[in-house]
């Protein structure tokens, strides 16, 4: 088996990322949904994931490069999944257990450092618990989680393929 499929899979992951980014921008600017801080973190991780896969697809790396690109790509997917899981958990807190003093994104941007804002975002903000849009009864963070889990599965599959030796032979062009 050659390394060419890795290049194709990097391109496939890039295209999936572009489509997902496009959907997120459509929801913000077309459907006029305002993203919360955790949504923005997930979108940033998605953009980095997409960029890594684009560079890998264009570069067409050898064995070590493939490991590094898949590691970086999978790392972004893992961080995105963790962020999405946190938001899904926040959205499923019963209303009687929700603190009513969480700050909004505007307050955090105006008054807090980035570290403090990240810490509060993972505790939860008013914006992050609202479910403003669903498709097939899944909220945006749940769709985001599905995407990141799919990309984690792709990355894990590639790592197992590479480690088993199936992707280690080079093809002469």
In a domain, 25, yes or no: yes
* 169 Cβ contact list (under 8 Å, min separation 6): 1, 2, 3
Averaged pLDDT for residues 39-66? 88
In a domain, 168, yes or no: no
In a domain, 173, yes or no: no
pLDDT tens sequence across 120-134: 666 665 566 666 766
pTM, full prediction: 0.74
CATH number (domain holding residue 136): 1.20.1550.10
In a domain, 26, yes or no: yes
Q: Domains in the chain: how many in total?
A: 1
Give residue 61's pLDDT.
78
Return the closest-CA partner of residue 118 out of 143, 148, 92, 82. Answer: 82
Q: How far apart are the C-alpha atoms of 65 and 123, rounded to whole Å?
A: 37
Averaged pLDDT for residues 16-24? 90
In a domain, 152, yes or no: yes
pLDDT: which is higher, 3 or 95: 95
Give residue 133's pLDDT.
62
Tokens of 7: 């290049």
* 92 Cβ contact list (under 8 Å, min separation 6): none
Burial of 28 (0-12, 13-18, 19+ CB in 10 A): middle
In a domain, 39, yes or no: yes
Q: How far apart are the C-alpha atoms of 144 and 11, rounded to whole Å?
A: 20
Centre a 10 Å sphere on the Cβ of residue 121 and count the other Cβ atoms it contains.
Answer: 26
CA-based radius of gyration for the chain: 18
DSSP bridge pairs for 138: 135
Return the closest-CA partner of residue 153 out of 88, 86, 83, 81. Answer: 81
In a domain, 170, yes or no: no
In a domain, 171, yes or no: no
pLDDT tens sequence across 59-100: 877 878 888 888 899 999 999 999 988 888 887 777 666 655
Domain region containing 109: 4-163
Q: How far apart are the C-alpha atoms of 11 and 52, rounded to whole Å?
A: 10
């Amino acid at each position: 088996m050659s390394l060419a499929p890795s290049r194709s899979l990097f391109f496939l992951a890039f295209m999936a990322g572009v489509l997902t980014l496009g959907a997120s921008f459509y929801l913000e600017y077309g459907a006029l949904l305002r993203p919360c801080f955790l949504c923005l973190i997930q979108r940033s991780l998605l953009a980095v994931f997409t960029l890594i896969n684009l560079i890998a697809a264009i570069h067409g790396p050898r064995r070590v490069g493939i490991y590094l690109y898949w590691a970086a790509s999978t790392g972004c997917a893992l961080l995105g999944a963790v962020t999405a899981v946190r938001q899904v958990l926040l959205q499923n807190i019963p209303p009687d257990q929700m603190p009513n003093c969480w700050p909004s994104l505007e307050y955090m941007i105006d008054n807090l450092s980035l570290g403090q804002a990240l810490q509060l975002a993972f505790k939860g903000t008013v914006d992050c618990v609202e479910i403003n849009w669903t498709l097939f009864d899944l909220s945006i963070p749940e769709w985001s989680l599905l995407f990141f889990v799919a990309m984690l599965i792709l990355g894990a599959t590639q790592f197992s393929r590479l480690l088993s030796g199936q992707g280690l032979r080079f093809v002469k062009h």
